[in-house]
Chains A and B, each alone.
Chain A
Amino acid sequence: MNNEIKDHSHIKGWGVDADKKNDPTYPMQNRIDGPSKYERKSQNQQPVLQEVLHSNERPNVSAVTGLGPEPSGLSGKLRRFAFEHGEGEFSHWIPLILADRINAVEGIVNDIKDGRFPDIIKEKGWPAQWKHDKKGLIKKLAVYGAITVGTIWLLRGKGDK
């Protein structure tokens, strides 16, 4: 792939066993003959009016991009850093995972700033769990409770020493 079509006739037996059906993607991929090349056809570029981070494994922003939330705040800094690294690198993914966690905290802070105190019980769908699985909910809360009490106890124990 990515080769110009060349004359291979000098290679003895070139292509004698070629079989279009010997293709695990057959018949789901309507294979086109010839070298694969990257080109823009009539896809117009959507005006890029917001910050779009693009993979460094491609030269450009795709013709169409999503209009979901832009990178912002500390999580945004991490996301920008992540996109300096290739998609095969942990240095791409770990900052993104971290950014997601930080972004959740930023979300709560921004909500409160906007005078909108997050209703976490509702957001987490606890009312549905209560309605359909009271036992499960009580068990979960008990486990969380025990973990919290245990952690506090451990931390206090350390402090005492």
Chain B
Amino acid sequence: MLATNYRGKRRIRVDKDAPMPEIRHPQDSIIKVTRTCICGSDLHLYNGNVPDTRIGSVFGHEFVGTVTEIGSEVTNIKVGDHVIVPFNIACGECIFCEQELYASCHESNAQSTALGGIFGYSHIAGGHQGGQAEYVRVPYSNVGPVVIPENMDLDDAVLLTDILPTGYQAAEMGGIQKGDTVVVFGAGPVGIMAAKCAWLFGAGRVIVIDKEEYRLDFVKKYANCEVYNFLSMDDPVRFIKQITDWLGADVCIDAVGAEAAGDALQTITGRKLLLQAGSATALQWAINSVRKGGIVSVVGVYGPTGNLVPIGNVVNKGITIRAGQASVKRLLPRLIKHVQDGIISPKELITHRIPLEEAADAYRMFSEKLDYIIKPVLIPPSVTY
């Protein structure tokens, strides 16, 4: 089968003769992928910044597809079903899954106790092969996969595997109260969704900060928010204070993570020298520009070692930090409904449809923000719809 194959820092090959995945556990199923996206999270892997990313790994945690084979204990889905597969691999029974912390499953990742299993996300996330391929093995198929409702567009469905739930949870973790001012750092797909969802919780004002003018233009229209380009600011923190009555925002959301730009010291130590687990610029700005007693919600992803963040300010300002990988399964019923009710239309974020064979080009484009890219979807050659 066709599959992406990680060959080293910023090198992706597409193999035509990759081995077909097999059922290895009674709750496994095999899915034939019909849509798969590249995510901002994949860029951390692509840039070689996630430890234990082994050569030969297949990336990809955002995919939908049809079930071609099921294990002996799979009862929740059947061959032929077209399913949404949450990016988290969750057993549904461990103490964390029981509490709906599906991103923290204890039985899907042997390599790290900080994180549950994630498809195609290095051995830190369990070493599971991912969905940027024609076929993928889906463990715990009674728990994760959800049949795509009739009439739902596949492009909407594939954004329900991660991007919409993550943006929604970013807003949810902000504990937004009616009238609150919310600042979202990052106008990538996650930040765009966070801005959109902030309104659902009753925000009074939503502000998005990025450096890519075309993304700011998009989110301004898509999520009716105020947008500002940090490249035109001397000091983004002071700027936010200034536009929030000199108090700071009630809620700040970090939807950027480890690849953040904007601060030379953070960039050099975090992204070039790997002295910290990525550049923590956006998180630093979020902490410094939230009001005293405010809430910082972090969905931007960082590596496992450590980062330079102004923890003293967190203490002095009495800030609450809430963070997490999105618990997709917990949110899916509600978000499917929001999509069906027309409250959110995720597919508008998709700017590029690229054949799976051209994954290397797609990675380069998404990473370098070429051709006004917002969200690329990869389509396997056998899929004609």
Contacts and interface: CB of A to CB of B under 8 A. Distances in A.
Interface of B is mostly: loop
B25 A46 contact: yes
A54 B110 contact: yes
Interface residues of A, number: 68
B108 to A, nearest CB: 5
**Chain B: interface residue count, which band?**
35 or more
A38 B106 contact: yes
Given A43-B91, A64-B140, A69 B56 contact: yes
Given A44-B26, A65-B126, A122-B360, A52 B110 contact: yes
A79 B58 CA distance: 19
A104 B55 contact: yes
Contact of B322 (A24, A31, A126): A24
Contacts of B172: 28
A132 interface: yes
Contact of A53 (B55, B57, B110, B361): B110
Contacts of A36: 95
B7 A62 contact: no
Contact of A68 (B11, B26, B57, B370): B57
A79 B55 CA distance: 13
A124 interface: yes
A83 B52 CA distance: 11
B363 A107 contact: no
Contact of A93 (B7, B117, B305): B305
B127 A68 contact: yes
A87 B108 contact: no
Interface stretch (B96-104, B176-184, B279-287): B96-104
A127 interface: yes
Interface in A115-154: 118-120, 122-129, 132-133, 136
A106 B304 contact: no
B347 interface: no
B112 A128 contact: no
Nearest to B100: A30
A129 B11 contact: no
Interface in B72-104: 73, 89, 91, 93-95, 98-101
B55 A106 contact: yes
Interface string A28-59: 11111000111111111011010011110110
A55 B111 contact: yes
A66 B364 contact: no
B341 to A, nearest CB: 21
Contact of B56 (A58, A68, A82): A68
A124 B10 contact: yes
A66 B10 contact: no
B39 to A, nearest CB: 16
A79 B52 contact: yes
Contact of B51 (A52, A71, A100, A108): A100
Interface in A82-97: 82-83, 87, 90, 93, 96-97
Given A31-B99, A62-B126, A129-B370, A107 B7 contact: yes
Interface in B286-331: 304-305, 320, 322, 324, 327, 330
B156 interface: no
20 contacts: A28-B172, A32-B95, A43-B94, A55-B110, A55-B111, A62-B109, A62-B126, A63-B107, A64-B89, A64-B91, A67-B137, A68-B57, A68-B128, A79-B52, A82-B52, A87-B114, A107-B8, A118-B11, A124-B360, A136-B368
- The 4 A-B pairs with the shortest beta carbon distances in the complex, nearest first, are A125-B364, A104-B8, A66-B127, A128-B361
Interface of B: 7-13, 21, 24-27, 48, 51-58, 73, 89, 91, 93-95, 98-101, 106-114, 117, 123, 126-129, 137, 139-140, 169, 172-173, 274, 304-305, 320, 322, 324, 327, 330, 358, 360-365, 368, 370-371
